[in-house]
């Protein structure tokens, strides 16, 4: 009798001696056990216990290190580089690049306050209006103006930013006289950004007081 060869691994198939006939008669015993194990694994991966265990592992020190290592390895592949290049051309990618540039610039000049800034969030809070001329600003072409200029004090925080036309921002330059918002912009901030307004006023008052003390000395 000719020996039957497993169609999966090319190993000899053990002859059937007793019990129900296997569903895959042209597979060896090892391949049948392996496929049954995979079925049980697929069932387990659909349970809540499996999802909870995966979540615990991802939040552990070892899980975070493994994820970072895999991401770094994938980023150096041809597919990873192409995917990153496509993502950086999206609005989210461009916004993250701008945040990174702003944070590096703030660190370079020795920022006293360094926080994460959401560019689109500030645009929405300002209702898409320039804080200098109170005219609508193009969503695809606008500046985030430092209300307290970097030349006065480097502050990278959402409450120190407001949407502005590029021309208006360039005309303002680094001027600081203690009044950082126009009356209409201040009224808009009281309604839409009250917490940011409180932080901004406190910082402006501190800078003005420090300048008066220096002048008196």
Closest by alpha carbon to 165, among 137, 140, 190, 146? 137
pLDDT for 141 equals: 86
Q: Are 161 and 193 in contact, with CB atoms under 8 Å apart?
A: no
pLDDT for 163 equals: 92
Domain coordinates of the chain in residue numbers?
31-81, 110-216
pLDDT for 154 equals: 85
Q: 153: how many CB neighbours lie within 10 A of its CB?
A: 20
Indicate the pTM of the whole model. 0.58
How far apart, in whole angstroms, are the C-alpha atoms of residue 208 and residue 48? Answer: 58
How far apart, in whole angstroms, are the C-alpha atoms of residue 179 and residue 198? Answer: 14
Strands 143-146 and 161-164: antiparallel
pLDDT tens digits in sequence order for the chain, 217 residues long: 567 787 778 778 777 676 666 667 777 777 777 776 666 677 777 888 888 988 998 899 999 999 999 989 998 999 999 998 998 888 888 878 877 877 787 777 777 787 878 888 899 999 999 999 999 998 888 888 989 988 888 888 889 999 999 999 998 888 888 888 999 999 999 999 999 999 999 999 999 898 888 888 7
Closest by alpha carbon to 106, among 140, 70, 148? 148
């Amino acid at each position: 009798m000719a020996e039957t060869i497993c169609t999966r691994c090319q190993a000899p198939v053990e002859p059937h001696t007793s019990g129900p006939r296997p569903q895959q008669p042209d597979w060896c015993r090892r391949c049948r056990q392996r496929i049954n194990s995979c079925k049980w694994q697929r069932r387990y991966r659909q349970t809540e216990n499996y999802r909870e265990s995966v979540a615990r592992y991802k939040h552990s020190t070892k899980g975070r290190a493994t994820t970072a290592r895999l991401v770094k390895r994938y980023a150096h592949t041809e597919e990873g580089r192409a995917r990153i290049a496509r993502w950086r051309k999206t609005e989210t990618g461009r916004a993250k690049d701008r945040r990174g540039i702003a944070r590096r610039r703030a660190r370079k000049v020795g920022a006293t306050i360094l926080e994460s800034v959401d560019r689109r969030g500030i645009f929405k809070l300002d209702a898409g209006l320039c804080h200098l001329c109170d005219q609508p600003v193009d969503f695809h072409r606008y500046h985030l103006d430092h209300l307290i200029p970097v030349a006065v004090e480097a502050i990278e925080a959402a409450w120190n930013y407001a949407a502005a036309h590029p021309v208006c921002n360039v005309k303002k330059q680094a001027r600081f006289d203690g009044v950082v918002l126009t009356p209409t912009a201040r009224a808009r901030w009281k309604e839409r950004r009250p917490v940011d307004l409180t932080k901004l006023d406190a910082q402006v008052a501190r800078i003005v007081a420090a300048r008066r003390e220096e002048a008196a000395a």
